[in-house]
Chains A and B, each alone.
Chain A
């Protein structure tokens, strides 16, 4: 099994390498002199020349690529043009906000989606089944930016039930340690702050989770129905097991396998979604950072965020594959899962 894990990790490295190559190619294929792209728009020709020498842009391409690769490996993603700070530091500062939102969304999506799927499967053909199916299609079809605006309209604008921007009301003190406000506020015993953090997470997480809930519910339903037809379920009934026991110990664990697959497939959508949702809710994460970077044509910052986001995505996919080793003993025997 260790061998299979190492193989999977090793398999991610060529992809990572190709991705970095691709990003480099993208930046250098872009129109406009690379130097003037890397300089701010009001730089004079001497400034541009200085930058060209500084960044080694007069060097042959392969040298530049080598430098780029080395920098990336040392986690040096350059300096932001607009903010004059190291890109990596800016991203690191905002990463916890995005990760916290993503994790809470995932918990929400699975926490609501799976029970809905179970309800639909156990009541197959009845009205609950149809209702879940409709919710699923609606959730998937409503674009995040519209859903977000609707939720704001519903909960925030008129009813003032939930806040619609930021992670906390302006000026709220928080004892930051991990950057994950849910954890931080609990650690410091600031329960009221904890409540505020949750309230601020509510709308963005619901917006982001809407589509995922639909898909997870559908997959959970079909996975349960498929597993329910398997022979070993008859064996379980023949043993005299109660319905609860069969669902909990035989149906669910086996259905978890395709559900995990779909979560893996939805990760990409989740990550892209955070970009839009962070913009709508003024969430201080990496997604809104990307938005700002793109707006002011800050190429180092844009490139840096793309590198980090993609690396994160690749890492999460590897993690999901690792999770398979835990839930399915057949995977290790087969030498690892291929999607």
Chain B
């Protein structure tokens, strides 16, 4: 099978995966009669595929419906990951464009900032922030964005640098176009395509990062159902009730694989030769 067909498969499977998860997050509650927090100790640790009782993915140690919890967990994870990607994307593009377009001391200073933040291994900073500053939603978002903006900054800086010296930009400057106008009309549109590719992959890693933090007990405040926390719970029951851990993990897997496939497809769409490894 040649490259073209492979690309189409990526698009189809990717959209299918992401679509399934998003649908589940939005409308999943209609597939189960149970509430995510509803405890039923008699029905604890029920195996999955019990359609009579409506326990599609079984129940956990407190009798809560796994599927219902996964639906609410999907919402939480997607929202957190989504906001994290958007914030880091906007911040990164702004910083990178400033750095590349204006140059000078701004560029040097920002580059040093980038280098410093980049020097930390990925999740480490996030763990440190949450543990030092307390476990709440704003802190979680900060912890997840603190390094995530860098790939955008790098990318847009490189592109701003090349674009800055291009003839049409110089012409605009001579004609008296204001800086903001130039940025808006010339620089940003060129940058958006690559930023979208980075954002897609970044969303995938953001979901994994948030789940990892939740798994370690450092994510959203305890009690909220997120896939990572569910996995952490499920670990102790792995021999007796595998479904507690396997299904939430499967949810993450499907989401992430879908995003990765879509990201590949997008990247090939915009520039088949490029191999951006900025994630």
Q: A residues engaging B (CB < 8 A)?
A: 14-16, 18-19, 22-23, 26-27, 29-31, 125, 127, 130, 133, 137-138, 140-146, 149-150, 152-153, 157, 219, 222, 262, 265, 267-269, 271-272, 275-276, 279-280, 290-291, 294-295, 297, 299, 302-303, 306, 309-310, 313-314
Give every chain B residue within 8 A of A153 (Cβ-Cβ).
238, 242, 246
B175 to chain A, nearest CB (A): 35
B30 to chain A, nearest CB (A): 27
A279/B216 in contact, CB under 8 A: yes
In this complex, the member of A140, A152, A302, A303 whose beta carbon has the largest number of chain B beta carbons within 10 angstroms is: A140
Give every chain A residue within 8 A of B122 (Cβ-Cβ).
268-269, 271-272
B115/A302 in contact, CB under 8 A: no
Give every chain B residue within 8 A of A269 (Cβ-Cβ).
122
The total of Cβ contacts below 8 Å across the A-B interface reads 136
Give every chain A residue within 8 A of B204 (Cβ-Cβ).
141
B59 interfacial by beta-carbon distance below 8 Å: no
A145/B212 in contact, CB under 8 A: yes
B186 to chain A, nearest CB (A): 27
Give every chain A residue within 8 A of B246 (Cβ-Cβ).
146, 149-150, 153
Q: Please pick, from B116, B125, B132, B217, the residue contacting A30 in the complex, using a CB distance under 8 A.
A: B132
B51 to chain A, nearest CB (A): 24
A276 to chain B, nearest CB (A): 6
Per-residue contact bits, chain B 1-15, to A (CB 8 Å; 1 contact, 0 not): 111001000000000
By size class, the interface of chain B is 35 or more
Stretch in contact with the other chain, from B39-47, B80-88, B188-196, B256-264: B256-264
B231 interfacial by beta-carbon distance below 8 Å: yes
In this complex, the member of B127, B235, B242 whose beta carbon has the largest number of chain A beta carbons within 10 angstroms is: B127
State A26–B142 Cα separation when bound (angstroms): 13
Nearest residue in B to A310 (C-beta to C-beta)?
A: B120
Pairs across A and B, CB under 8 Å, 14 listed: A26-B132, A125-B1, A130-B1, A141-B253, A141-B257, A141-B260, A145-B212, A146-B231, A153-B246, A262-B277, A272-B121, A272-B124, A276-B123, A302-B128
